[in-house]
């Protein structure tokens, strides 16, 4: 395969036929959350809800959310693609279709979905397509994957509000964030989980646009 062909594949999502075959066995974290000691895989408390966020390298993104009051647990992994039970190496080839994602399990009585969305929009640049800063490839694309039609509506409304805020700030680029209803999440390998708590000096590529996300975007129960 030529260098140019490899580069093209890095920025183009594969079709289901083009994706790597993956495997039957899932990666299952063997350790609890490094920061709060809770189970990454559940079962989660009955009153909690979940959302998946893709916003570039998942190391820094996960740290943003585990610090928020009302978040029960976080984990990193892969979502939005075709390959079943992918590995990190496979995802980085661009041939699984997945993006690096953070699973956020939260108590909606303590923190609203709209508050999580505010952190999401303000903490990365959602206009960059298949990249985030110097991190390039389909696995770094911006994404919100929700588990209900109600949350989908809230997420889309927040996107429109943030697009307006960007325009008001003089930024002309369009938001490229993929927003859809999806609950398939594949856990990443143990060493990726809560990486920046285990390695405080580790790489963090998180950086926003400098534009605040409007409040009052609506809440999901």
pLDDT at 116: 98
pLDDT at 10: 80
pLDDT at 221: 32
15-45 burial by CB neighbour count: b if 16+ within 10 A, else e?
eeeebbebeeeebebeeebebeebebeeebe
Query: What is the mean pLDDT for each group of 10 consecutive residues in the chain (221 residues)?
Result: 51 96 96 98 97 98 98 98 98 97 98 98 98 96 97 98 97 97 96 97 94 68 32
Domains (range + CATH), the chain:
16-198 (3.30.1060.10)
pLDDT at 140: 98
Selecting among 57, 92, 204, 213, the annotated active-site residue is 57
Q: Confirm whether 92 is a catalytic residue.
A: no
- Note if the pTM is more than 0.85: yes
pLDDT at 220: 37
């Amino acid at each position: 395969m030529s260098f140019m062909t490899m580069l093209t594949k890095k920025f183009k999502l594969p079709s289901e036929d083009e994706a790597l075959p993956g495997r039957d066995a899932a990666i299952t974290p063997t350790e609890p959350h490094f920061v709060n000691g809770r189970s990454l895989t559940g079962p989660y408390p009955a009153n909690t809800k979940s959302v998946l966020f893709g916003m570039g390298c998942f190391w820094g993104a996960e740290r943003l959310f585990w610090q928020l009051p009302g978040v029960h647990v976080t984990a990193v992994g892969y979502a939005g693609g075709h390959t079943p039970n992918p590995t990190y190496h496979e995802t980085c080839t661009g041939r699984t279709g997945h993006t690096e994602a953070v699973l956020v399990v939260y108590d909606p009585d303590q923190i609203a979905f709209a508050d999580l969305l505010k952190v999401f929009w303000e903490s990365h640049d959602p206009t960059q397509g298949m990249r985030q800063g110097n991190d390039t490839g389909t696995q770094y694309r911006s994404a919100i994957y929700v588990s209900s039609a109600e949350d989908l509506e809230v997420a889309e409304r927040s996107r429109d509000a943030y697009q307006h805020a960007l325009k008001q700030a003089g930024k002309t680029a369009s938001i490229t964030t993929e927003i859809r209803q999806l609950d398939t999440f594949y856990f990443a390998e143990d060493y990726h989980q809560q990486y920046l708590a285990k390695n405080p000096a580790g790489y963090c590529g998180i950086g926003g646009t400098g534009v605040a996300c409007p409040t009052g975007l609506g809440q999901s129960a």
